[in-house]
C-alpha cells in the first residue's frame, strides 16, 4: 500500500508550487474586481421580441460599457449588471437596445455605489473569518485542537489556491465568487472531517506497537474510494454547468471547480499529514 504520510514532503511541495505563484500574483497585480465590488448599475428589462443574452452583451459592450452579467429571469425578462451608469448613459443604453433588439420596458433600476461595494467586500472577508473561527471551535470540541488547526490550514490551502489562480489569470471576481469560496470551505471541511473521523475510530482500535503514521495511512486508504467518488460526481456536474450553464454562473462554477478539486487534494494529502506533524512536534516538546 502506497504510504501517503511518509511521502508528505512531496505533497507539501506540490501545494507550495501552486500557492506561492498565486500569492506573488496577488501582491503584484491583485484581483480583477467585478462591478459588484467596484460599483455599478443593475437594470431589469423586458424585451417585446425574443433575444438572447449574447445579443444584449454585444450592444452594451460595443458602446464601451462593461457588463458583469446578464441573467434571464423570465420570458423576455433580463437582469443586466453593468458598470455604474448615470442617467444620460443609462438612457443611451436603453435607446441602443431598442434600436437593435426591439422595444424595451425598464422594470427595475438599481445603482451600487463605491461605498456600498467597499462594505460588501468588508462583509465578505468578515464572513470568511467568522466561518473559519467557528469551524475551528467545532472541530476542537468534536475532536481535538490539532485536528482543528490541520483542518483550517487545509481549508486555507483551498481558498488560496482558488484566489491565487483567479489572480494569475485575472478572471473577474464578482459577488458569486464569495458565495463559491464559502461553499468550497464547507465542502473541504466536510471531506476532511470524514477522514478525521476514520482516524479517530482507528485510534480507539489501535494495535499495540502500531505506528501513528501507519494508522493514519490506513485510515486514508479506507476513505480513499469515498473521497474520489464524491469529488468526481461533483466535478462532472460542475463541468456540465461550465459548458452549458451560461455566462452568468461562469465565475461561480469556475471557482467551485478549482476549489472542489483542491479540497479533495488537501483533505487527502495535506490535512492528515499536517495533523501527524503537529502531533509529532507536540510529542517532541513533551519529551
**Structural domains in the chain (count):** 2
205 and 238 both lie in a single domain:
yes
25 and 85 together in one domain: no
Task: Identify the CATH number of the domain in which residue 94 sits.
Answer: 3.30.70.1940
Residue 32 · residue 169 · CB < 8 Å: no
Q: How far is CA 89 from the centre of its chain?
A: 34
Determine the Cα–Cα distance for residues 268 and 223; give it in Å rounded to an integer.
9
Whether residues 152 and 25 share a domain: the answer is yes
What pLDDT was estimated at residue 118?
A: 67
Q: Are residues 149 and 50 in the same domain?
A: no
* Tens digit of each residue's pLDDT, the chain (287 residues): 788 999 999 999 999 999 999 999 999 988 887 777 777 888 888 888 888 888 888 888 888 888 877 878 777 888 888 888 888 888 888 889 898 888 888 887 877 766 666 677 777 778 878 887 888 888 888 888 898 889 889 988 999 999 999 999 988 787 788 888 888 888 888 888 889 999 999 998 888 888 999 999 999 999 998 888 988 999 999 999 888 876 668 888 999 999 999 999 999 999 999 999 999 998 887 76
Q: What sign for the dihedral angle of Cα 184, 187, 190, 191?
A: negative
Contacting residues for 91 by C-beta, under 8 A, at least 6 apart: none
- The H or E element containing residue 72 is strand 67-74
Residues 108 and 122 grouped into a single domain:
no
Enumerate the β-bridge partners of residue 106. 45
Structural domain harbouring 75: 40-112
Phi/psi zone of residue 79: left (φ > 0), alpha (ψ -120 to 50 degrees), beta? beta
Looking at the chain, list the stretches that DSSP marks H as alpha helix, in order from N- to C-terminal side.
Answer: 8-28, 35-38, 53-62, 87-101, 114-142, 145-168, 175-204, 212-244, 250-266, 272-286
One domain for residues 73 and 162: no
For the domain that residue 148 is a member of, what is the CATH number? Answer: 1.20.1640.10
Pairing of strands 32-33, 172-173: parallel
88, 112, 136: which is the final residue of a domain? 112
91, 112, 133: which is the final residue of a domain?
112
Do 145 and 55 lie in one domain? The reply is no
Do 168 and 26 belong to one domain? yes
Spatial distance between the Cα atoms of 190 and 135, rounded to a whole number of angstroms? 11
**Are residues 221 and 123 part of one domain?**
yes
Same domain, 125 and 186: yes
Asked which of 80, 112, 144 is the last residue of a domain, the reply is 112
Residues 106 and 17 in one domain: no
Q: Are residues 179 and 212 in the same domain?
A: yes
Q: Give the 3-state secondary structure of residue 161.
A: helix
Amino acid at each position: 500500500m502506497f504510504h501517503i504520510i511518509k511521502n508528505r514532503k512531496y505533497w507539501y511541495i506540490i501545494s507550495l508550487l501552486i500557492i506561492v505563484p498565486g500569492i506573488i500574483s496577488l501582491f503584484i497585480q491583485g484581483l480583477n474586481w467585478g462591478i459588484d465590488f467596484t460599483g455599478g448599475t443593475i437594470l431589469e428589462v423586458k424585451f417585446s421580441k425574443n433575444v438572447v443574452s449574447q445579443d444584449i452583451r454585444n450592444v452594451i459592450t460595443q458602446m464601451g460599457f462593461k457588463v458583469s452579467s446578464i441573467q434571464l429571469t423570465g420570458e423576455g425578462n433580463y437582469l443586466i449588471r453593468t458598470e455604474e451608469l448615470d442617467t444620460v448613459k443609462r438612457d443611451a443604453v436603453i435607446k441602443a437596445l431598442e434600436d437593435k433588439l426591439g422595444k424595451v420596458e425598464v422594470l427595475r433600476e438599481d445603482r451600487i455605489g463605491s461605498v456600498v461595494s467597499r462594505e460588501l467586500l468588508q462583509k465578505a472577508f468578515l464572513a470568511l473569518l467568522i466561518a473559519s473561527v467557528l469551524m475551528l471551535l467545532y472541530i476542537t470540541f468534536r475532536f481535538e485542537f490539532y485536528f482543528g488547526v490541520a483542518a483550517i490550514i487545509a481549508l486555507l490551502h483551498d481558498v488560496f489556491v482558488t484566489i491565487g489562480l483567479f489572480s494569475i489569470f485575472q478572471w473577474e471576481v464578482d459577488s458569486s465568487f464569495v458565495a463559491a469560496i464559502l461553499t468550497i470551505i464547507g465542502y473541504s471541511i466536510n471531506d476532511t472531517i470524514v477522514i478525521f473521523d476514520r482516524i479517530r475510530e482507528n485510534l480507539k482500535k489501535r494495535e499495540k506497537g502500531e505506528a501513528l503514521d501507519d494508522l493514519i495511512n490506513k485510515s486514508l486508504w479506507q476513505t480513499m474510494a469515498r473521497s474520489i467518488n464524491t469529488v468526481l460526481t461533483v466535478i462532472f456536474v460542475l463541468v456540465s454547468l461550465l459548458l452549458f450553464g451560461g455566462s452568468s454562473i461562469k465565475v461561480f462554477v469556475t471557482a467551485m471547480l478549482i476549489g472542489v478539486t483542491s479540497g479533495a487534494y488537501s483533505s487527502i494529502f495535506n490535512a492528515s499529514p499536517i495533523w501527524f506533524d503537529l502531533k509529532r512536534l507536540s510529542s517532541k516538546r513533551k519529551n
